[in-house]
Amino acid sequence: MRAQDPLRVVVSAGCAACRRARELVEAIRRLRPAQPIEVIDLDDRDAEVPAGVVGTPTFLIGREIVSIGNPCLGLLLDTLDAVESADGPC
């Protein structure tokens, strides 16, 4: 994972927990406006399902799954911050 890898959130209309996933996306957009975010809606016929995704919601940073199901906002922010600091200057 790299600092500029997008947060990718896989959702679908039939998923009850996906409403909360979309709320988390909006919170991240407010709190980390520079963070690239991609919402992948499985109801879109053209959506490409990332490797390893077996259910919704799924949160990835780049290609790495960081949560199957909704993480708490604090944990998600900590994960994003850890990726950024790991890739920062030495």
Q: In CATH, what number is assigned to the domain containing residue 61?
A: 3.40.30.10
Overall number of domains in the chain? 1
Q: Confirm whether 41 is domain-assigned.
A: yes
Alpha-carbon 4 to chain mean position: 13
Question: Is 19 contained in some domain?
Answer: yes
Query: For residue 32, is it within any domain?
Result: yes
- pTM equals 0.89
Does residue 2 fall inside a structural domain? no
- Could you count the other beta carbons within 10 Å of the beta carbon of residue 87? 12
What are the pLDDT digits (tens) for 16-72?
999 999 999 999 999 999 999 999 999 999 999 999 999 999 999 999 999 999 999
Which range of residues forms the domain containing residue 29? Answer: 7-86
Question: What are the DSSP calls for the chain, one per residue?
Answer: --TTSPEEEEE-TT-TTHHHHHHHHHHHHHH-TTS-EEEEETTSTTPPPPTT--SSSEEEETTEEEEESPPPHHHHHHHHHHHHHHTS--
CA distance 23 to 28: 9
Give the confidence band of 4 by pLDDT, cuts at 50, 70, 90.
confident
Task: Give a yes or no: residue 1 inside a domain.
Answer: no
